[in-house]
Amino acid sequence: MEIQRPRGTRDFLFKEMKERKSVETTMRRIFETYGYSEIKTPIFEELSLFTTKSGEGIKDQIYHFQDKGGRDLALRPELTAPVARMYIKELQKTPKPVKMYYFGSCFRYERPQKGRWRQFWQFGCELIGGKSPGSEAEVISMAAHCLEELGLKNFDIHIGNLGILRNILIDANILGKLQDQVMGIIDKGDIEELEKLLQDIDLDSDSKELLMKLIVMKGDSSIIKDVESLINCNEHACNALSELEKLLESLKAFGFSNYVVNLGIARGLDYYTGTVFEIYVHGLGAQKQISGGGTYNLIELFGGENVESTGFAFGFDRVMDALNKQEKSIEIERSVKVFVAPIKNDLKLKAFDIAQKLRKNGIPTDVDLVGKKLKKILSFADSMGINYVVLVGARDIEEGNVTVKDMTSGEQEIIDLEDIIDTLKSKLMI
């Protein structure tokens, strides 16, 4: 009986894991440069953490189960709600702002396709207790910095403010769950479905026209003036627009101006309150959104203090897809640099002894465990990109030596066993 991998999951083999590790290391380095520290939360949480305020879209996708004690639990579909829960319990007294980052897998019961998985990874951050618009500008600049550092090209950062659309809907008396439903359809980008819903709920024609115009407004900062003239009779929407304007000013100070103002961003999660942003990469097809985030108020909703919070998460798998699609070569470190090869089987114990000495002195080393012929060992070492093969031969050992073969030049050198560690360390610059 062949047991299949669950639908929407993947196995990652050696090269792919090394590439993922390399990208993860770069992301960590950049996030830490901005003062973020890593945290970890459980992979499963109480179901209600995600059903309270994450939105209908997410609820349908939750992997939900009961444990043996009858508790309703869920595999996390994202990490903002868990971080908000943790913040309330553990960090409310910590000096603000609290800057946290995380890397972990998330689970959503989606229809799997390229770039859309049932288990996927998010690399993200939450900045709690900062002040807008500075915090938002810093977070967006960090996202851009990270992608630049990874060498990703052709990405667009779209920035909007949910307060504009939501206040237009409030003005038209579209509130609560219905408002979230409208926002959810705008997020999906399904204009037909949106028109049908607006017709069903009998939205007045002026509000409908305004909404339909706003959601397609995209451009540089100059569109702010056009939006202003469209919404000027709605005070709250105008306040949201001026928040957006201030954010763009702060972004300029952070040296980032390569954004698209996009009033159609609605986000699929219901907890956002103001600034929102999404990053798209050309050429990734339907799953081109590699990141999303914004400002939210989950902490107060979960019973904590009223504190400004903002954050975002990279869809790590989509970042990997984008780098691969752009054929960006990802630097991977070959871990093993030395291979110890006994020339005859009766020298294998001596080879084990030498290999272990090298390892204990910090030299990544492999040793022949299966009695391969020397020719096979050399071609294996070559294919694995190993730098040096230590040949353990009877005559050399009698004289207290080994032979070191440089796999790049092909040259061989006899080295005193006493000096092997220092010699290899200096050759490998360890």
| Binding stretches for ligand HAM (CB under 6 A) | 78-80, 108, 110, 115-117, 120, 122, 124, 126, 268-269, 289-294, 296, 311-313, 315, 317-318
Decide whether 317 or 366 has the Cβ nearer to ligand HAM. Answer: 317
Q: How far is the CB of 200 from ligand HAM (least distance, A)?
A: 27
CA geometry: angle 196, 201, 206, nearest 5 deg: 85
Does 271 count as an annotated binding residue? Answer: yes
Q: How far is the CB of 296 from ligand HAM (least distance, A)?
A: 6
Pseudo-torsion of CA 36, 42, 47, 49, nearest 10°? -20
266-291 core/surface letters (b: 16 or more CB in 10 A; e: else): bbbbbbbbbbbbbbbbeebeebbbbb
Does 126 count as an annotated binding residue? Answer: yes
Does 80 count as an annotated binding residue? Answer: yes
Decide whether 127 or 389 has the Cβ nearer to ligand HAM. Answer: 127
Q: How far is the CB of 188 from ligand HAM (least distance, A)?
A: 12
Taking a C-beta distance cutoff of 8 angstroms, is the pair 253, 140 a contact? no
Query: Residue 374 burial (CB < 10 Å; 0-12/13-18/19+)?
Result: middle
- Cβ atoms within 10 Å, residue 111: 9
Does 90 count as an annotated binding residue? Answer: no
Q: Coil, strand, or helix at residue 245?
A: helix
Decide whether 156 or 171 has the Cβ nearer to ligand HAM. Answer: 156
Decide whether 256 or 312 has the Cβ nearer to ligand HAM. Answer: 312
Q: How far is the CB of 420 from ligand HAM (least distance, A)?
A: 48
Decide whether 58 or 378 has the Cβ nearer to ligand HAM. Answer: 58
Does 273 count as an annotated binding residue? Answer: no
Amino acid letter for position 103 = F
Residue 250: how many CA atoms within 13 Å on its side-chain side?
A: 18
Q: How far is the CB of 425 from ligand HAM (least distance, A)?
A: 42
Decide whether 105 or 361 has the Cβ nearer to ligand HAM. Answer: 105
Q: How far is the CB of 40 from ligand HAM (least distance, A)?
A: 16
Q: Cα separation of 165 and 174, whole Å?
A: 11
Token pair, residue 313, equals 């998460």
Helices (H), 278-388: 298-301, 316-325, 348-360, 374-383
Beta bridge partners of 391: 341, 403
Decide whether 43 or 175 has the Cβ nearer to ligand HAM. Answer: 43
Does 108 count as an annotated binding residue? Answer: yes
Q: How far is the CB of 374 from ligand HAM (least distance, A)?
A: 47
Decide whether 167 or 291 has the Cβ nearer to ligand HAM. Answer: 291
Q: Cα separation of 383 and 298, whole Å?
A: 52
Long-range CB contacts (< 8 A, 24+ apart) of 341-346?
A: 341/367, 341/368, 341/372, 341/374, 341/377, 341/378, 341/381, 341/389, 341/390, 341/391, 341/392, 342/368, 342/392, 343/374, 343/391, 343/392, 343/393, 343/394, 344/393, 344/394, 345/371
Q: How far is the CB of 151 from ligand HAM (least distance, A)?
A: 18
Q: Return the residue nearest ligand HAM (CB atom).
A: 315
Does 175 count as an annotated binding residue? Answer: no
28-62 core/surface letters (b: 16 or more CB in 10 A; e: else): bebbeebebeebebeebbebebbbebbbebbbebb
Token pair, residue 364, equals 């990544």
Decide whether 291 or 365 has the Cβ nearer to ligand HAM. Answer: 291
Q: How far is the CB of 135 from ligand HAM (least distance, A)?
A: 12
**Annotated binding site for L-histidine: which residue ranges?**
78-80, 108, 122, 126, 267, 271-272
